[in-house]
Amino acid sequence: MTIAVSTSGYGGKTLSKTIQVYTSDPEHKIISLKVSGAVEKMVTIEPETIRLTGKSNEEITAVVKVLPMEKYPFTIKSISAKNEKILGLDLQPPEGDNPAWNIKVTNKQTQPGRYFDVITLVTDSIIQPKIKINVFGNISE
Amino acid sequence: MKTIRFIFFTALIIMAFTPPVLSLETKAVAVPVAEVSAPEFQFESVPEGTKVTHDYIIYNKGSEPLRVLKVRTG
């Protein structure tokens, strides 16, 4: 029996999963299989989730820092939002000795209300070709 | 007559305390017997985003085919 486990979302943590196999053996109706191991962080994203909160007549922005781990360097090839009408994105590559990428996220939603969107970073990393960042918006009058 | 009665009752008592004759062949129940040699797998440290795969081998030590009815993950 082959199992495949995705380690996405477990960076910096220990992954532990249990697989229960139900069999026709009357003495071993359930067999428990366990998989575990440490997952290293490939990137540090600050903040991990973007919250755009403010009034509709104001400029609402947030800056996200994307820092590749030294052991797993990568560059960001492109950036996109699920709904480009809601979010404006500006990617600033690393400058000088600072290896972090900065993304300026701007709210474009003018109507009051809440929304959820996802920013996708396409990288040249074989291990993690796509990085997703969640965005929560809360626009008031 | 007394002798016959004695033999009859003796035989009756012997029969009462003698266990019934069993078949010498013990009937084995045919069932599948599942066995996993290494049910726990610990992988080496990997970077986030890596897909970890592993093969678990489930042996059938029984005399009937072993069927996997369902698999649940958690």
Q: Give pLDDT tens digits for A60-73.
A: 999 999 999 999 99
Inform me whether the pLDDT recorded for B24 exceeds 60: no
Q: Is A31 on the interface with B (CB under 8 A)?
A: yes
Contact B45 A40 (CB under 8 A): yes
User: pTM for the complete prediction?
Assistant: 0.69
Q: What backbone torsions phi and psi does residue B52 show, to the nearest 5 degrees? A: -95, 130
Residue B72, in any domain of the structure: no
Domain that residue B30 falls in: 23-46+53-66
Has residue B74 been placed in a domain?
A: no
**Sign of the C-alpha dihedral, residues B48, A116, A122, A91?**
negative
Give domain status of residue B57, yes or no: yes
Burial B25-50 (b: 16+ CB within 10 A, else e): eeeeeeebbbebeeeebebeebbbbb
Cis upstream peptide for A99 (omega within 30°)? no
What is the structure's pLDDT at B23?
Answer: 45
Has residue B17 been placed in a domain? no
Average pLDDT, chain A: 94
Q: pLDDT, tens digit, for every residue of A28-58? A: 999 999 999 999 999 999 999 999 999 988 9
Q: How confident is the model at residue B74 (pLDDT cuts 50, 70, 90)?
A: confident
Residue B19 pLDDT grade (very low, low, confident, very high; cuts 50, 70, 90): low
Strand pairing of B51-55 and A2-6?
antiparallel
Position with higher pLDDT, B26 vs A15: A15
Domain count, chain B: 1
pLDDT band at B6 (very low <50, low <70, confident <90, very high): low
3-class secondary-structure state, position A9: coil
Which domains, and CATH codes, for chain A? 1-40 (no CATH), 43-140 (2.60.40.10)
Bigger pLDDT: A119 vs A127? A119
> Concatenated DSSP letters for chain B?
-HHHHHHHHHHHHHHHHSPPPPPSS--------EEES--EEEEEEEETTPEEEEE--EEE-SSS---EEEEEE-
Residue A6 pLDDT: 93
Find how far residue A94's CA is from the centre of its chain: 19
Task: Provide CB contacts within 8 A for B38, sequence distance 6+.
Answer: B56, B57
**Is pLDDT at B58 greater than 60 in this prediction?**
yes
Tell me if A26 and B31 make a contact (CB, 8 A cut-off). yes
| Closest Cβ opposite residue B54 in set A8, A35, A38 | A35
Find residue A106's DSSP bridge partners: A61, A88
Residue B16 resides in a domain = no
Express as a percent the part of chain A with pLDDT over 90: 90
A23 → closest Cβ in B48, B54, B68: B68
**Do residue A40 and residue B31 have CB atoms under 8 angstroms apart?**
no
- The answer to whether residues B55 and A1 touch, using CB atoms and an 8 Å cutoff, is yes
pLDDT of B27 reads 54
